[in-house]
Amino acid sequence: MRLNYTGPVVLAILDGVGLRRDVAGNAVKQAHTEFLNYAVENYKTTSLQASGEAVGILPNDMGNSEVGHNAIGSGQIIKQGIAHINEAISSGAIWQTQTWIDIMERIHNNPESTLHFSGIFSDGNVHSSIYHLEKMIEKAHEENVKHIRLHLVLDGRDTPPQSALQYVSEIEAFINSFPDQPDYRIASGGGRMVFVADRYENDWEIVKAGWNAMVNGIAPHQFSSATAAINTFREKDPAIQDQYIPPFVIFENGMPVGTVKNGDSFIYYDFRADRAIEIAQAFTYNDFPYFDRTYFDENGTEHHAKPDVYFAGLTEYNSDTHVPEHRLVEPVKIENTLNTFLGSKGISQLAVSETVKFGHITYYFNGNSYEKVSGETHLEIPSDTLPFDTRPWMKSAETADAVIKNLENYRFIRLNFPGGDMVGHFAELEPTIVALESIDIQLARIAKEVDRLGGVLVITADHGNAEELMDAEGHSKTAHSTNPVPFIIYDNTENRNSYDFTRIEDAGLSNIAATITTLLGLEEKPDSWRDSLISVNE
């Protein structure tokens, strides 16, 4: 027996909305979400694992939007992210790549050149890992690299919001531990929301601020050390989170201690693409319209072009354009994605989200590719550029408007509501509650139209966040969680009595793809996929 809906199958991903029993610090529990509460009580509901090995990362590591959407869209558990990089380091394969060999040869041919490192500076294991940075510095020292400069993109988002001093202290102790005291120093820094790490081309000024600090030694603030910088900003604003620390440059004797110059090499050590691709483009694209990449050479002459720098990524940041050209670890290739399978069956598809999660509902959902299959459309809703805690409703209404407008035009629609995650990262309870209540209103609107058309609405999340805005000690928690996420099948058609949840001990996000195909009336699925969460009654 096959399920048969006259209307569309709609998948709503509530970004950063996990399940947790405790009420304290739990915006999900405290929000007035009339529709979601009704759906949980009256429709088929279960929970799914969205962290650790369930999404192909290290055991007990918190989930994130990249691996979450990869798992949902691929129907598979893909060993990726930090686990994939760790394997390359432990096996030594990373040092045998042509990219590492080229960097070392370039430096040995010009011993006075500098090896620069940048990336999100934390052990959050979501975008990057200090472990990877230290291993590369260690190997570079072993290969007699004389000059290293670090450009720190401070975190406070996947780590405690005011933890930067701890990480700075640790890395300074590490680079000062080599007995021959090589010239290894921190050169610049800033918070990830204002320095270097923009994503989805939401604000190129962030990338420009990183370029100016790293390449030209120009920033609003100059300090003698990263520790002095962070302490000064904390004194001015005790509540400032690491992710918003203004860009700064380290100066000594009136000069920046380590700008990126012609002949230098640069490794961006993020393994996650979304906050790495734009700075990679800035260092590698010849045709670059986003800002004037001015740099000054060793004679002080101004150039309106990028310097001659060998730029490498820890991995590939765009599998369609293969940026950057040079990378230390090749990405995992994800095949047999949901969009590809549905395209082969002639099923029309629409992906909708606002800018801040548009890449997740498209690029990551489709197995790290922006390529669309026949019958697939991507629709982006421009995000606000103001802080999301001041606009916690975000573009929920506009997203719902776009979905409702297109319900009769597509067989399968997937959408992402970012509020639980993007507002949750501020660790402020009231704005996050508003975000969730705004989403709930829009889900109710979508559900009403899905009912009218005889469709089905599936509601889930990619990872937790909004349900845990406070840690066990009562401190603000900006990071994601390891909590499970909801899975709700809102179905008012005659089909609702024709299927039941199957018992899957380790049910997770990777089981969703097969579930979608079951709801679409397809009896087959790729062999690489995990099983459907539901079985149709005979």
The per-residue pLDDT for range 358-394, each reduced to its tens digit, is: 999 999 999 999 999 999 999 999 999 889 999 999 9
398 three-state secondary structure: helix
Distance, CA of 471 to CA of 481 (rounded, Å):
10
Q: Which pLDDT tens digit goes with each residue over 413-427?
A: 999 999 999 999 999
At residue 253, the pLDDT reads 95
Residue from 390, 465, 461, 396 nearest 427 by CA:
465
Residue 365 sits at φ, ψ, to 5 deg, of -60, -35
**pLDDT score recorded for residue 288:** 95
Tell me the two tokens of residue 238. 């005790």
Q: Could you count the other beta carbons within 10 Å of the beta carbon of residue 330?
A: 13
What pLDDT is attached to residue 412? 98
Ramachandran region, residue 181 (left: φ > 0; alpha: ψ -120 to 50; beta: rest): left
Q: Distance (Å, rounded) from C-alpha 481 to C-alpha 463?
A: 7
Q: Which helix (H) or strand (E) holds 205?
A: helix 204-216
Quote the pLDDT of residue 251.
98
Query: Contact at 8 Å (CB) between 150 and 171?
Result: yes
Question: How does pLDDT run along the chain (538 residues), one tens digit per residue?
Answer: 899 999 999 999 999 999 999 999 999 999 999 999 999 999 999 999 999 999 998 888 899 999 999 999 999 998 877 888 999 999 999 999 999 999 999 999 999 999 999 999 999 888 999 999 999 999 999 999 999 999 999 999 889 999 999 999 999 999 999 999 999 999 999 999 999 999 888 899 999 999 999 999 999 999 999 999 999 999 999 999 999 999 999 999 999 999 999 999 999 999 988 899 999 999 999 999 999 998 887 778 888 889 999 999 999 998 788 999 999 998 888 999 999 999 999 999 999 999 999 999 999 999 999 999 999 999 999 999 889 999 999 999 999 999 999 999 999 999 999 999 999 999 999 999 999 999 999 999 999 999 999 999 999 999 999 999 999 889 999 989 999 999 999 999 999 999 999 999 899 999 999 999 999 999 899 999 999 999 999 7
Residue 273 to residue 315: CA distance in whole angstroms:
8
Residue 289 CA to residue 155 CA, distance in Å, equals 28
Residue 1: exposure state from Cβ atoms within 10 A (0-12, 13-18, ≥19): exposed
Contacts by 104-110 with C-beta closer than 8 Å and gap 24+? 104/140, 104/143, 104/145, 106/263, 106/265, 106/310, 107/145, 107/265, 108/143, 108/144, 110/263
- The CA dihedral of 115, 121, 122, 124, to the nearest 10 degrees, is -100
Say how far apart CA 392 and CA 421 lie, in whole Å: 10
Number of residues that make up the chain: 538
User: 62 near 482, Cβ under 8 Å?
Assistant: yes
Per-residue model confidence (pLDDT) at position 331? 84
**CB-CB contact of 57 with 125 (8 Å):** yes
pLDDT at 84: 86
Give the helix/strand (H/E) hosting 168: helix 164-175
Are residues 362 and 70 in contact, defined by beta-carbon separation less than 8 angstroms? no
Residue 43 CB neighbour total at 10 angstroms: 16
Instruction: Report the predicted TM-score, pTM, of the whole model to 2 decimal places.
Output: 0.79
Query: Up-side HSE of residue 89: CA atoms within 13 Å toward CB?
Result: 20
Locate all alpha helices (DSSP H) within 277-353, ordered by sequence. 277-284, 338-344
Sheet strands (E) in 265-401: 265-268, 294-296, 302-304, 310-313, 326-327, 349-354, 376-381
pLDDT at residue 298, rounded to an integer: 75
Coil, helix or strand for 442? helix
- Domains of the chain in sequence order: 9-78+334-482+496-536 (3.40.720.10), 82-327 (3.40.1450.10)
Decide the pairing of beta strands 44-48 and 485-490.
antiparallel
Please give the Cα distance from 198 to 223 (Å, whole number): 24
Q: Please state, in angstroms and rounded to a whole number, the distance separating the CA atoms of residues 478 and 158.
A: 7
Can you give the pLDDT at residue 304? Answer: 84
Q: β-strands 294-296, 265-268: how paired? A: unpaired
d(CA 450, CA 6): 10
- What amino acid positions are annotated as catalytic residues? 65
Q: Where are the beta strands (DSSP E) in 479-527?
A: 485-490, 499-501
